Each structure stands twice: as structure tokens, then as C-alpha cells.
Chains A and B, each alone.
Chain A
């Protein structure tokens, strides 16, 4: 029975971006409907339209075969459509129960009836099998529970259709498993779930049907049991995709990066990185696994000179570089592919050629007798554009004129062309489309085989396991475990360390640092 239908949805943003171009979606009551597509394929826009955050430029929405107009989220909630956003919309300083009751409580006087809120929350949690602690402050509970709070909040408001926007992006494998169990129980109780993701494995595991989107268009809707990851990937990308990376075994060489007892304490005095020690050698990829927010970002910032460490030392090829700043690290031949590339890795209204020299403009051959050599800069730009296949006519254009994928190539071109001895790559495939992921992975492995030392930080556990020779697990700012990447290492095993359920002793880690 068709519950919700979106017909020929067209959404054009005021800046001219066509985010949805004739999209059709049919959701059957009681199903788990996955929506997949690369970044920017228009998934989120479609969901925002269904939840009333955006108005379609044209097209119609039918609920129970009746056309409806959803002007705002309140209207969506009234129609029984709830949404759990990627970034949780919760008040950290309120308790779980208060957050769930928030927005509904005002009907009954000014003060919130806390007892009732707690009772309601407990009831709701029992009904749907979503365990939460009603009296805990949201700021103190783990990410997985926050997500359950969001789901309960939607259910509390009477949601019959639940839209989950990339719900697993922030979860550990264990939490993901729990979430899937909860989703199944919701469906068993008659709810309908729309599940947005770009992780195809999860689609195969949880969904009943899949709608694939590409370039703002609707590519097709298939039954999950009749399809495969390969087919979905092909639909998403528009060509064959190879998911495997060929990683030949090599023997690591001399240590390139040596970190000793590194500690970083933030402005508020909270230790974020605690006493971290490890080594990265030539011809080796060291992966750092961990749930986001366990100090990886700060560790990278310290290692690349963007923040000074509070204590400890960093050595690159035996030279002390602690506190040398970003330029000092770059002069020590450390390249850095940053986490938020498109915001921090390029200057958008500066030309491509200029973006390609940010780490070397002050040196020969770009600077001659005090002035910049524009010809040299242009030649360098042309050369790298050619070499890295950046799709643009010439390097004089601003980076903003490039597509996201090509902006990434500008960054990669700059960092690889600096002839680094150590590459620090943070979330190298975040926001990258499936087709480009395989390319980046292969590049990293090839560089490592050629002798580069690589420190890889990724929230994607699969990626870490696919590429790394050794894996460090970070939990709460510390290294909780170190594993050589042997075939018997499983995601579940790593997950236990990522969540802090287990921890290796110093002796266990000693030989592996």
C-alpha cells in the first residue's frame, strides 16, 4: 500500500542550483526504504522537501494518495512525518526526557512536567526498544543514545514515517548494529522508515527497497533482495566500480615520523590528546581508527603544526620539529590533506595556480629577487593541472569555478607535488564519490609502495582496514590499541577498543608502536 509519494519533484535553489530534477519516490507502508546516491545527488534536498524545510519548485507530494502541501516542519509533524537530522537538534544541557518533551510541553502551562516527561520517555523507550537514560543530560550521553533520543522525539510527536538522514555516519559498528535492530522493531510496529545513506553495505543489510539518485535525478528503485552492491554502485556512479584495493606487501623502512608522549590540552584546560606515542615508517600506512571526537582531529592539527602541543615531542626523520608551526612542518617534507578540504584546503576566489603554491610561493623558483615569478607560477599550474587531470581550461581561473571533485584534485596535486616524505591524510575520501574513492585509495597505496610514509585518519573503519599496514585505535585522546593489519582483525574487535570497552596494556602495545 502506497503511503507517501513524491511526484516529479523539481527543486531549484535561488542561486540556480538544480538539486532535484524530476524526482519520483514511492514509499510503501511498513517498509524500510533506502535512498542512496553520491554527495550532492539531491537526497538531502528531497528529504528536506518531504519534511517541509524546503518547498519544491514544482511537483507534488501525496500522502495516502491525497495531495498535501508541507509548508514547514510543523506541518510535516502534523502529517506524521518525522526526521532525524545528521546533526542532532538537541539541547545539550537538557535531560533526555526534557529534550523529548520539548516543544510539546507548552500545551500544558508554563512549567515542564518533569515527572510526566520521564514517565513518557520510559514508556516510549520500552515500546520501541530504544534504550535511553531519561534523566541523563544529553551532553553527557554517547552519540548512539543521542540518536535514539532524536528518534524517540520524532515518535513522541506521532511520526508514522521516520526519515533518517545518514544515521550511521557517526556511529561505531556496534552502535550501527543496535540502530538497525531498533529500526526493524519500529517497522514491526507499523512505522515506515526512509533511510538515507551512501554506504551500500548498510543498504543491503537493512532496507527492503532502494531508490538510487544521481545528478539530481531519479535513477531507479529496486527491491533490495534483487540487487547487489555492484549493481547499486553502478547505478550511483553510472559506470562499473571496483571496490577492492590491491595492496602488495612491502617491508617498512626507516622511521619517518616519531611521536613521543604527545599531549594537547585545549583552551578550556581539557586534555584532548593524552600521552600519545607512535612511529610511522617509510613504505607504511598507519591508520588511526576511532569514533570521531576522540582526539584525532587535534592530533592531526598538532602533527601538522597548526596547534602547538602542550607537551611531548615530534620528530620527522630524526629532526626535532615540535612546535615548528605549519611552515616548519611543511619544510620538514610533511604533506597534509586536511579533513575539511573544501573549506580549509583551498582559497576559493584565488586562482588555481596560486592555490597550488601556498606551501612554496616564498621559495625559488617562484620567488626571484623579492618578486613572484608569475610565469613560473603559471607553468607550475599548467603542469599540475595536466598531470593530475584537473578539468579546467587554465590555471588563472578561481578555484571556486571547479567542481568539488576537481577541488580535491587541486589539493592532492599540491600535496603530492611537494615531494613529501610523510603524508598526513585526514578523512581522505570523506565527501568523495564512490568512483573517486577507488582512485584515491589506489593512489595512497601506490605512494606507500614507492616509499612514502602515510598517516591515515578516517572515521570509516572499512577504509582504515582496507589501506593500513598497522592500525592505532584512539579512544578518549589516548591510543587504546595497536594492531598489525592481519586478516583475522575484524571490525567488531576494533569496535570494542573504539568504544573503550577494551584497552591494550602498555606492554601489549610496546613492540608495535
Chain B
């Protein structure tokens, strides 16, 4: 009471406009950048060319542009909704990417090893007459060779020596070169006279020499050119790979990583079909993220989305498969509603267990997930799998059971609209409905909700069940939109990915489209990196793990901020906007610190 009253300085209109403006700029920029990249990508001409060439139908182009505009809108929502926190989320992701870059580089440190490994040949090229000598390994004009540092052998060799008989006065060239195109070994060669002295050495070939001698393929090969032999006798050629320089190792690793990262960061928007992979994955993740955000809002640590998703996929799949001659406009809505109902019921179950038996929702949902997955497999294997099928999967859905596509030859379907509706519905649910109020209040302080007269048992139960509706939809999308059949492992831990999506979005339904797209972008980028640059998917797992770590480490960030404030105590802390302000306020009113 005695502390200084807190007054937020009224923000100037200009300051208030910054976020929407920034959002609009980013939205338009993102829309056009993505569209530009997936068509041709390099120059504007290429883009126009691609469009004019009718490689893409006009209505496909319109659909792609439309979806990219939605991506832009997601970015705008992200900025407008989270404001400063958006910056924090961005930093989180960037830091994770940098960390991943470093990790990738470390894993790439062996990429320079190709210079010390591989098949090689040495030969003596001369116009002099061949000397035959039983004791020599080789003679003029012959090539000998081996394989340096071969992987998988017990004692790989890292140097070799070959003898040949020489005659005083002969003019010879000694060549050492990679044996084939696969070998990139960087060689050095030395010629030893019969008396043991070194009479020539080289670790490279000039471009002219490469041109001149057919055997030489690159400057990494080595040649001792134009040596006049000083005496008769057995000469020895010593050959070994060049020692690797730290600089070479690093620059090689960096070059590789850069290539990989280019595939990672731009691969998803390099072609229409890759873009489609990204978008379809994002649609699933957005739905799962929405589902998770509802239970997290109620502070229920439920991971039941996985099981609900399986049930949603199964129920919608059965309907899609058995629809027969019915038209799609009947089958699809029925299948979707059935999937939502299945999710609702499978979510209601742990809700009841939690509300009335106080069963920990984390444990119960994980257990129920297992039941759901096994039940799905049971039905799939014994009921749905056609007898002639070679692997465990249902037959393809009839066309009337598939979600109609928006972009030809992709799996981008009308699920786009389903997701838009779901986002708006969840947003309305959380912010505008009494149930949403109950969920928010119970999630913030259960005792308070009870005290205020809210039936918190019902709230908890419904939060889990409603979350199941959205998760069930995600399952329907997987079956009817993406795979168009039911397969084993239709979701590999999507619920857990949904946790990250929801956490990144701070459980804000309007931000989830962005975080879902972002996360799907990283996931699909990972696939393309694996494909294009031969970097394993595990790297992406590491990046994902780092993101999760950084999110959970936000308390640390706040800690660092408060420490920094202390070092400049003269500057009074000005409370800023809502979300971030509490900590600052606390500082300005130490008198109330007990209530912190």
C-alpha cells in the first residue's frame, strides 16, 4: 500500500502501431518469399517462366498463393499476439538452430577425411626404354596402387612404397593420382635414389600438368616432373596422403554444414511437392497443438492426444472405407464428425478418471494411448487389411472418402479449411465461452475456481474431452488427407510434437498456426537435409530438444534479465506491457514482495 502506485505510461499511438505494421510487412514478405521460392526460385524470370509454362495449373497457383497468404497471416498473428514474447520465441528458435549448426559441424568434422582416404595409383611415365628387374615392384609405364585408410579393414594403410629399376640419365616423371572418380585422396609423393637420398618430392599437380598427363585428374594428385636419374639401381617411390590441416578440416566441415543447412532451411520451399509435404505436416501439427493447448490451459498435463488421434483415424477410416457409393459430401462430414466424437469420448475417459478418482492424467492418458494404439493395430490387422496385401495397411480409401485436394498431385487438401475452422473454434472456446473461462480460471488457480463456484471436476473433464475432439480431427486428417489409407504407426509420437507446438505458442490458439508451421518446417527441412546433404535426422532431433530445453529454461532468461537490472540500479524500472511486466513491478515495490 505504501509502495509507489504502478502507472503504466500510456503508449503513444505510434508505438502501438509498430507491432501491427511489422506484422503486416512480415506477412506480405513471407507470402511472396515462399511463393517465389517454390516456383523456380532463382530469378523472377524463372518464376514467370514456370507459371507461363503451365507447369502449374492456374487454379493450383491460386491455391498455393492462398495457402501462402495464410502462412503470412499466421506470422502476423504470431507477432501481434505475442509481441515481445514473439521476439523471445524467435530467439529461442534461432539459438536452437545455431546450436544445431555447431552440432552438425562437429559431426561433419570427419568430412575432410575423404582427402586422406581412397584408392590411388603411382606410375613412372617416361620415354626411356623399359628395364626389366625381378626385384622391382614395377617398371616404367606401369601403374601400381592400393587403398589408403580404407574403412572397415583391420589394418588400413596410410603410406606405401614401390620400387622400380632406373638407369642413369633417364628422364622420368613420377605420378601419384586418385584411382577413380570416387577417390578424393590428396596425395604427396617422394622419389628416393638407390643411395637413399631424396631426389624429388611433390604434393600437388598444376592445372597445366593435369592437362598434360591423362592420368592426373585434379590438383590434389601429385607429380614429380622431369627428373633425370643420377645412377643405375632400384629407386623407391614413397607415397602417402597429405596431412590434414586444421583449417582444411574446419572449412570442409563448415562447407558441408552450410550445404546441409541450406537444404534444411530452404529445402521445404524449393519445389511445390516439398512445400506440400511441409504444409500437410503443419496441418496435423496445428491440430495436435490446438488439442494440447486446451488441456494445458486447464493445467492438465494430458498427453492423450496420441490415443485420441488413433481413434479419430480409425473411426474416420472405417467410415471412409465402407462408404461405398455414397458421395463424398456425405461421407466426409460423417467421417469427420465420427472422428471428433471418438476423440471426445477417448478424452472424456481420462477426464472422468481425473475428476472423480483423482487418477493422474499423465499416467492415465499414456496408458490409454497404448490401449488405443494396440486396438487400432488389432482392427487394422484383422479387419481392415485386405488378405492379399503384402504389408499391414488398409486398402486405399475410395475417392469419396478422401479429402478433396486443393493443389493437384499433393496431399494439400481441404483440411486447410478444417484447420482454419478449428483454430477459430478453439480461440472462441477459450476466450469467449463460459467453458473457456472455466478452463482458464481452473488452470490458473484451481482453488480459486472452486471458491468462485466453478464446478472444477466438470471443467477438467470437459477440457480433456474437448481437446480430444481436435485430436480426433487430426487423426482424420492423417487418414483421409495424407495417407488415404490406414497404416501402422500412423502417428509416431505426434502428441509429443504437439506439446512443443503448444508451448512455443504459449497455448495461445491464434499463435499455434505459426508455431505448427514453424515446427513442421523444421521437420520437413530435416527430411530434405537428410536426403540432399546426407545429414542424419538425429541432428534435427537435437535441434528440437534444444528448443524444448530453451523454452523450459525461460526462467533462466528472466533470471539473467533481473541480474542485468541490478547492475544498473540507478535506472528506475519502468513497467511495460502486460505479459512481461509482473517481474518488473515486483522490483518497483519491494514492500509487497511477500505477495510475489
Say which one of A182-190, A271-279, A342-350 lies at the interface with B. Answer: A342-350
- Decide: A326 and B451 in contact? CB cutoff 8 A: yes
Residue A361 CB within 8 A of the other chain: yes
A18 interface neighbour in B434, B437, B587, Cβ under 8 Å: B587
B581 pairs with A19, CB closer than 8 A:
no
**Which of B78-86, B214-222, B558-566 is the interface stretch?**
B558-566
Report which of A14, A238, A305, A397 forms a contact with B562, defined as CB distance below 8 A: A14
- Nearest CB of B to A220, in Å: 15
How far in angstroms is the closest Cβ of chain B from A373?
9
Contact code string A330-347 (vs B, CB < 8 Å = 1, else 0): 110000101000111111
Q: Which residues of B contact A38 (CB under 8 A)?
A: 1-2, 591
Q: Which of B31-39, B256-264, B398-406, B452-460 contacts A (4 or more CB under 8 A)?
A: B452-460
Among A76-84, A284-292, A429-437, A444-452, the one that faces the other chain is: A429-437
Q: Are A361 and B566 in contact (CB under 8 A)?
A: no
Chain B's closest residue to A326 (CB) is: B453
Q: A16-B566, A40-B595, A214-B591 are in contact. Are A374 and B432 (CB under 8 A)?
A: yes
Is the CB–CB distance between A403 and B452 below 8 Å?
A: no
- Shortest Cβ gap from A177 to chain B (Å): 29
A14 to B5 CA separation, bound complex (whole angstroms): 23
| Contact mask for chain B residues 562-596; partner A; CB cutoff 8 A; 1 contact, 0 none | 11011000000001001101111111011111111
Q: What A residues does B452 contact at CB under 8 A? A: 326, 330, 358-359
B538, chain A: closest CB distance, angstroms: 36
B428 in the interface (beta carbon within 8 A)? yes
A313 within 8 A of B: no
Pair A436/B1 contact, Cβ less than 8 Å:
yes
Interface flag for B467 (CB, 8 Å) = no
Q: Which of A1-47 contact B (CB under 8 A)?
A: 12-19, 21, 38-42
Q: Is A362 an interface residue (CB 8 A)?
A: yes
Could you tell me if B432 and A344 are in contact, using CB atoms closer than 8 angstroms?
no
B591 interface neighbour in A13, A41, A326, Cβ under 8 Å? A41
Asked whether, in the complex, the Cβ of B594 is within 8 Å of the Cβ of A358, the reply is: no
A404:B595 contact, CB within 8 angstroms? yes
Contacts of B585 in A (CB 8 A): 401, 403
**Residue on A with the closest CB to B584?**
A16
Shortest distance from the beta carbon of B477 to any chain A beta carbon, whole Å:
27
Q: B562 to chain A: which residues have CB within 8 Å?
A: 14-16
> Is A237 interfacial (CB-CB < 8 Å)?
yes
Minimum distance in angstroms from B198 CB to a CB of chain A? 68
Tell whether A216 is near chain B: CB-to-CB under 8 Å: yes
Interface residues of B in 435-483 (CB under 8 A from A): 436-437, 440-441, 444-445, 447-455
**Contact assessment for A348 and B445 in the assembled complex, using a CB-CB cutoff below 8 Å:** yes
Q: Which of A242-250, A258-266, A364-372 contacts B (4 or more CB under 8 A)?
A: A364-372
- Contact (A358, B449) CB under 8 Å given A214-B2, A367-B434: yes
Set of chain A residues within 8 Å of B255, measured between Cβ atoms: none
Interface size on A, as a range, is 35 or more
A298 within 8 Å of B (CB atoms): no
Our count of residue pairs bridging A and B at CB distance below 8 angstroms stands at 167
Q: In whole angstroms, how far apart are the Cα atoms of A325 and B2 in the complex?
A: 38
Inter-chain contacts of B142 with A (CB < 8 A): none
Contact residues, B249-293 vs A (CB, 8 A) = none
Asked if A306 contacts B434 (CB within 8 A), the reply is: no
Shortest distance between the CB of A58 and any CB in chain B (Å): 11
Q: Is the interface of B mostly helix, strand, loop or mixed?
A: helix
Decide if the interface of chain A is mainly helix, strand, loop or mixed. Answer: loop
Q: Which of A342, A392, A404: most chain B Cβ within 10 A? A: A404
User: B595–A393 contact, CB under 8 A?
Assistant: no
Of all chain A residues, which has the CB nearest B437? A361
Candidates A40, A326, A374; contact of B594 at CB < 8 Å: A40
Q: What is the CB-to-nearest-CB distance from A251 to chain B, in angstroms, rounded to a whole number?
A: 33
- For residue B428, which residues in chain A have a CB less than 8 angstroms away from its CB? 371
Once bound together, how far apart are the Cα atoms of A45 and B3, in whole Å? 18
Tell me the nearest residue of chain B to A20, going by C-beta. B590
Q: What chain A residues lie within 8 Å of B431 (beta carbons)?
A: 372, 374
* Contact pick for B448, options A305, A347, A370, A403, CB 8 Å: A347
Residues 308-334 of A, flagged 1 when their CB comes within 8 A of B and 0 if not, give 000000000000000001111111000
How far is it, in angstroms, between the C-alpha of A29 and the C-alpha of B41 when the chains are bound? 84
Q: Does B7 reach chain A (CB closer than 8 Å)?
A: yes
B6 at the A/B interface (Cβ < 8 Å)? yes
Partner of B451, one of A328, A338, A362, A401: A338
Return the chain B residue nearest A41 by Cβ: B591
- A405 interface residue per 8 A CB criterion: yes
Interface footprint category on B? 35 or more
With an 8 A cutoff between CB atoms, is A398 at the interface? yes
The answer to whether B432 touches A400 (Cβ under 8 A) is no
Looking at the assembled complex, report how far the CB atom of A23 sits from the nearest CB atom of chain B, in whole angstroms: 12
Within 8 A of A (CB), among B75-103: none
Q: A240 CB to closest chain B CB, in angstroms? A: 13
CA distance A92 to B129 in the complex (A): 107
Q: Is A393's CB under 8 angstroms from B559's CB?
A: no
Contacting residues, chain A, for B436 (C-beta < 8 A): 372
Q: Among A12, A237, A304, A306, which residue has its beta carbon within 8 angstroms of that of B2?
A: A237
Residues of B within 8 A of A407 (CB): 595
Contact B596 A361 (CB under 8 A): no
Asked whether, in the complex, the Cβ of A16 is within 8 Å of the Cβ of B450, the reply is no
Chain B 1-30 interface residues, beta-carbon cutoff 8 Å to A: 1-3, 5-8, 10
Q: Do residues A354 and B440 form an inter-chain contact, with CB atoms below 8 A?
A: yes
A129 to B583, CA, bound (A): 48
On whether the beta carbons of B1 and A403 are closer than 8 Å, the reply is yes
The answer to whether residues A17 and B596 also contact, given A347-B441, A433-B1 and a CB cut-off of 8 A, is yes
Tell me the smallest distance from the CB of B149 to a CB of chain A, in Å.
53
With the chains together, A347 CA to B452 CA distance in Å?
10
Determine how close the nearest CB of chain A comes to the CB of B300; give it in whole angstroms: 16
A344-B595 contact given A330-B453, A358-B454, A401-B582, CB 8 Å threshold: no
Whether A19 contacts B1 by the Cβ 8 Å rule is no
Contact A18 B448, CB 8 Å, known A215-B2, A362-B434: no
Among B451, B454, B578, B592, contact of A344 (Cβ-Cβ < 8 Å): B451
Give chain B nearest CB distance to A165 CB in angstroms: 13
Q: Decide yes or no: A403 and B441 within 8 Å by CB, A16-B586, A358-B449, A359-B453 being known contacts.
A: no
Distance in Å: Cβ of B508 to nearest Cβ of chain A: 13
Chain A residues near B2 (CB, 8 Å)?
A: 38, 214-215, 237-238, 433, 435
Asked if A350 and B440 sit within 8 Å, CB to CB, the answer is: yes
List, in ascending order, chain A residues with CB within 8 A of B455's CB: 325, 327
Asked if A325 and B447 sit within 8 Å, CB to CB, the answer is no
A354-B581 contact, Cβ under 8 Å, with A17-B587, A403-B589: no
A447–B541 alpha-carbon span in the complex (Å)? 63
Check B206 for interface membership: any CB of A closer than 8 A.
no
A374 and B434 alpha carbons, distance in the complex (Å): 11
Q: Assess whether A42 is in contact with B590, with CB atoms less than 8 Å apart.
A: yes
Any A CB within 8 A of the CB of B433: yes
Q: How far is the CA of A402 from the CA of B433 in the complex (A)?
A: 26
CA distance A343 to B445 in the complex (A): 8
How far, in whole Å, are A343 and B594 apart by their CA atoms in the complex? Answer: 12
A347 to B297, CA, bound (A): 13
A391 at the B interface (CB under 8 A): yes
| Bound CA span A392–B582, Å | 12
Q: What is the bound-complex CA distance between A429 and B98, given in angstroms? A: 53
Q: How far is the CA of A172 from the CA of B582 in the complex (A)?
A: 38
Question: Nearest Cβ in chain B — how far from A241, in angstroms?
Answer: 12
Identity of the chain B residue whose Cβ is nearest the Cβ of A435 in the assembled complex:
B1
List 6 additional contacts besides A17-B590, A215-B2, A305-B453; criterion CB under 8 Å: A12-B566, A330-B452, A345-B448, A367-B434, A392-B6, A401-B6
* CB<8 Å pairs between A and B, sample of 9: A17-B590, A18-B587, A304-B451, A336-B451, A372-B437, A396-B578, A397-B581, A401-B585, A405-B592
Q: Which 6 A-B pairs have the closest CB atoms?
A: A358-B452, A327-B453, A404-B595, A347-B444, A16-B562, A347-B445
Residues of chain A having any CB pair with chain B under 8 Å: 12-19, 21, 38-42, 214-216, 237-238, 304-306, 325-331, 336, 338, 342-350, 354, 357-359, 361-362, 367, 370-372, 374, 391-393, 396-398, 400-405, 407, 431, 433, 435-436
